[in-house]
Amino acid sequence: MKSISIALLVLFVASVAFADTGPPYAGDVMCNQKYPFQPHRTFRFVRWMPTTMFDIREELTADSVVIWDTNSDDGVTVTTTTTSKDSRVAGVVVAAIRTPDSTNRTVTEDIGKRNWGWLQTYGLADNVRLGLTAVVTNSYIGTGESIGEAGPFLDVRTSDVTTRGVLGFSLNSGPLDGTVAVFLKCE
């Protein structure tokens, strides 16, 4: 009996000693990469819906910046904007998404259609399209004034709360109409 009590005491002390060595299992563990030197990235499967019929094109290209669509109001649909620093900024499209067959469908009617694709919302995005403004390293980045493009986020302390959306920050400098590496922070 005494040896069982000692064994239980040793087991209890060992379990307490090793309790703090692992990750906190109460939340998400950010380690979906294959190797420790690869940055964590978060992706979401989203539906693309053009803002207007004039925005209809063959596809929404990869590396495009998109916003959450408040017309669909479903939390799954993204669209494009021409508003600089749009507060609805959602992330960057990973691969091209084709134009919808119809712009009159709801999200449930569009399930399985061609206008679905992947959106990156967090982590390193290697190539984010820039508009007509160059950016420097460590700059805040937001939506640009051209469809699908990013631009520098200049906080001018305006009272317009619809222009406060930060996509992330640049990890290097980017030229006009070029691309830049951005660490996305849209979560």
Tens digits of residue pLDDT in 125-156: 998 998 888 888 998 998 888 888 998 887 66
**How does the average pLDDT of the chain come out, rounded?**
80
CATH: 3.40.50, 2.60.40, 2.40.300, 1.10.10. Which one for 35-185?
Answer: 2.40.300
Q: What is the pTM of this model?
A: 0.77
* Per-residue pLDDT reduced to its tens digit, 1-27: 566 656 555 555 555 444 444 444 455
Q: Measured between alpha carbons, how far is 78 from 67 in angstroms, rounded to an integer?
A: 5
Rounded Cα gap, residues 145 and 133, in angstroms: 10
DSSP letter assigned to residue 39: P
- Report the alpha-carbon distance of residue 55 to residue 98 in Å, rounded: 12
Tell how far CA 177 is from the center of its chain.
21
Give the span between the Cα atoms of 56 and 75, in whole angstroms: 21
